[in-house]
Chains A and B, each alone.
Chain A
Amino acid sequence: MPNAKGTRVSRRDFNKLAASTAAVGPFFLFSGRAGATQKTLKIAKWSHFVPQFDPWFENIAREWGQQHDTQVTVENIPVEKISAVASAEVKAGKGHDVFIFPWPPAQYYQHAVDHTEIYQRVAGKYGAIPQIAYRSTYNVKNKQHFAFADFWAPSPLHFRQDYWAKVGMPLGPGHYGSLYGGGKRLRDEFHIPCGLAFTPTLEGNITLHTMLYAFRAWILTGNDEVVFNRNVFAGVALKYLQQLYRETGTPDQLSWQPGGSVQAMLAGKTSCAINAISLLRAAEEQDAEAASKIWIQPPLLGRSGMGVTALPHITNCSLVWSFGQNQDEAKQFVADLIDSSRTGYAASLGFNFPTYAKTVPDLIVHLGKDPQANPHDKYLLLKDALHWTPNLGVPGFATPAFMEVFNSFLIPKMVQRVLKGQSSPEDAAAAAAVEIQRIADKWQQVN
């Protein structure tokens, strides 16, 4: 199929690109060494949303192990079980040597080695720590990095272009007012609900944190002071969500399991979603025609000066436990993993956006010539994604308090109480603020 410039890019070309990437640089450049006693390295990681990525990672890890005379095991853990497994390891004081989270594991900073050393090692090759990594993994209290962030995933708005064209918005809604107005017409006239996830799942969490942030309903300041519901923004955002749900939504939005919003959109049952591009990748695999109708656009224009913004769907953070038995090997593995970012990007089908731009220097070329996408430059809209993607915890850092709010699904639960009619927006916001304050106070007490 011709691309924007009229040339042809085939799947074969893309594969060639990936193959040449692999050929140009081995993932880990180490001389093998013979060792009498083979060491072990146990890795836990979140199960990637692009299925092709996990086998690639396992292979990479195995190769690294061969080069380091280390037996490496990789355990893939569903995202929804990550917190439970990590907490159990902390409680037990033992577990995997490297634990890879899909979000900043700030709550575990007391049980993490200082990853500054890894950032320093990487700096020699790829430059200073990128801002999104810095603000996602730095603990301002102890001045240490509790993890190492090597990639992230943007959260563009996905919309069914053919549906939105029916209500005069073929280029998408653009701002929250049009999301409501167009969404209402789509449901009223065509019986197609809007499909944003409002569930206590990762996509629900990211969607709702993004919407609150876009309405200036911040959770905490940079100093971990609670600002949620200290102004009217939270109440206004909740009332907007209430109206959006009532007049554009479907009850399914409150009950989807992880990935439910994706499946609904792939089935053509909903008109929009906030998600990572794994949604589109799944569509391209399952139904190319449907995929061609799902367009992406940068996030919706926020209010009260917030501009165009959305939180990262994923912030890939590797953590080496301080109680780990093989800390040196673990740190070495994490530092070396950055060398394979380019092939990791290919293996993730463009899902993994590198934190270090130099690791995938031709990112824009890839985005512009994607063999699976229709059109091939469909993802080029994401080339500026870092400009509209702040870190989780914004306007501050990803602090333990913020991440506890995030991981306890406090925000989706608050929204659900409003949408189910169990609480008024005012009462729900007030109750959530009390809980956020409790969490912030708890972490203030921790050294």
Chain B
Amino acid sequence: MKTIRERTSMVVFAVMAMMGVAFLAAPNLANSQTTTAVSGAASFNPPPCDYKDQFYMDNGLDPTQVVGRFGSARLTGPPATGNQVNWVADSTCSQRDPDRRNFRILAITGGFPDDQSGSPTEFITILGFVTNQNLIPSGINAFETTYSRNVGAINGGLDGDQQNPGETISIVNSANPRSITMQNLVSNFEAYPAPKQRLANGQIALNPCQADMVSPLAPAQPCFDLSTVNAVFTPALRQDWRFATNRNAIDGSDNNCISNNPAVCTPPNGTGSAPPQSDSPFGYFCDDLLGMWINSFFWYTVDPADHTSPLGKTCTPILKKLGQQNGLTPDGTPIVKTGDELDNILEANGCAAEGQLAFDGSDGGAIWLVCPAIPDPRAGAISADAFLDQAHNSNGTVQNIGLLENFLSLQIFGVFFTQLESSQQSQITAQAVKQQ
């Protein structure tokens, strides 16, 4: 059986051949990988690479505490399968972005945005994991407590005339110059992994094994384990991720509602009949520069086959309806695409719960992720050799073909699927169906 990567490459070349468009290989890639796939369209967005150590430190995270960091670890293994590799050396990374080191990421993880649309349009790269706030007894903090670096100092440019003391990037008492601690900042960005709950014996576990996460709605045993970072690798997930990149910029630069004027931030009639606009304090792409998230695991607290218990009687019709709408996971539970489905439909009725791992690391596992969303996955950001990391059904087919269609469309044409001509869409759909 061909791997996804091999099949993806075939699609790339096949479509390009059909279109008669020359393949735009990046010149002098010393480390072998072909990066450019976009046919014809402008290719100006760089593909994702790992950050430099200094960039991690400038943003408050000790890079030595990043577990399973791409470029240093996890060359093979999940999400890569078969002959795939998760990353390659690529000397163009730092040329295109001086904050990046020369390891380009091929494993592109797909998911849903947190905008209630349920659209399969998010693409991220899971660079590594943070599993402790602080190591005992060494006292090493994952989030830096003190740091200082001067940048931009110029002494003697322009024949000695130019002088500039530069700016100091500092972290004091764990807080950056805006007095925001990285931990607090990241708590504003939740990623929602959905661990598989069906155990090897076929039984469904309704709670995690981590005692501080157990929901009172379901028995604590049997349980599913979240104690290693493997728990958030896609093969261990029952469905694709959901991410909240739509958080706001504190300075209003993304046109979020930071005004206190009710005429601006509440419905025009001022009745409060609708909630005020989202007004969260941080913007993902302008504040969370490492692209970090806190994992909010969510799980079902009821067996979909339970039609007899009070909770089962309540939840069975809810699960059935949601399953008909969104499809089912390999566990036989519905796929959840939006926050509304999780919070107001499932959790409100006791059919699901959510929680985070303990900050002291005692639960094990990935408390936080370094997994920056690709700001604009169009126009070159998805390279020819990249592969899509997504959830699969039990029969091996991809769970969300729309995600694959978008990925292939971005990889080949540099645009989202909906932006294609109908003939192009047909080509992509055919390939996606073939690949899944």
Chain A residues close to B by CB (< 8 Å): 4, 127-132, 134-135, 138, 140, 165, 167-175, 177-178, 180-182, 184-185, 216, 222-223, 231-233, 235-236, 239-240, 243, 297-298, 301, 303-305, 307-308, 355, 357, 367-368, 375, 377-378, 380-381, 383-384, 386-388, 395-397
Give the docked Cα–Cα distance between A240 and B217 (Å).
11
Count A-B pairs with CB separation below 8 Å.
Answer: 181
What are 10 A-B pairs at a CB distance below 8 A?
A130-B261, A131-B260, A131-B262, A168-B134, A168-B360, A216-B343, A233-B348, A381-B179, A381-B181, A397-B272
Residues of B within 8 A of A297 (CB): 181, 184
Supply 8 further A-B pairs (C-beta < 8 A) apart from A131-B276, A175-B359. Answer: A185-B362, A222-B274, A232-B217, A236-B215, A298-B184, A305-B342, A308-B184, A396-B272
User: Is the Cβ of B360 less than 8 Å from the Cβ of A128?
Assistant: no
CB < 8 Å: which of A223, A305, A368 contacts B273? A223
A177-B357, A304-B343 known; A127+B217 contact, CB < 8 A: no
CB < 8 Å: which of A181, A223, A355 contacts B358? A181
CB < 8 Å: which of B132, B281, B294, B356 contacts A384? B281
A131-B265, A305-B339, A357-B260 known; A387+B360 contact, CB < 8 A: no
Give the docked Cα–Cα distance between A309 and B281 (Å).
11
Give the docked Cα–Cα distance between A236 and B188 (Å).
22
Give the docked Cα–Cα distance between A187 and B56 (Å).
35
User: Is the Cβ of B181 less than 8 Å from the Cβ of A140?
Assistant: no
User: Is the Cβ of A135 less than 8 Å from the Cβ of B141?
Assistant: no
User: Is the Cβ of B174 less than 8 Å from the Cβ of A171?
Assistant: yes
Residues of A within 8 A of B363 (CB): 181
Tally B residues with Cβ within 8 Å of A.
Answer: 67
User: Is the Cβ of A140 less than 8 Å from the Cβ of B272?
Assistant: yes
Among A223, A231, A232, A388, which residue has the most Cβ atoms of chain B within 10 A? Answer: A232
Residues of B within 8 A of A222 (CB): 271-275
User: Is the Cβ of A171 less than 8 Å from the Cβ of B143?
Assistant: yes
User: Is the Cβ of B362 less than 8 Å from the Cβ of A168?
Assistant: yes
Q: Please give me the residue from chain A that is nearest to B247 by CB atom.
A: A307
CB < 8 Å: which of A140, A223, A377 contacts B179? A377
Q: Please give me the residue from chain A that is nearest to B301 by CB atom.
A: A232
User: Is the Cβ of B347 less than 8 Å from the Cβ of A168?
Assistant: no
CB < 8 Å: which of B188, B216, B262, B276 contacts A308? B188
User: Is the Cβ of A173 less than 8 Å from the Cβ of B217?
Assistant: no
Residues of B within 8 A of A367 (CB): 179
Give the docked Cα–Cα distance between A156 and B418 (Å).
45
User: Is the Cβ of A4 less than 8 Å from the Cβ of B183?
Assistant: no
User: Is the Cβ of B360 less than 8 Å from the Cβ of A182?
Assistant: yes
Among A171, A184, A235, A381, which residue has the most Cβ atoms of chain B within 10 A? Answer: A171
Min distance, Cβ A271 to any Cβ of chain B, angstroms: 13
Residues of A within 8 A of B271 (CB): 140, 222
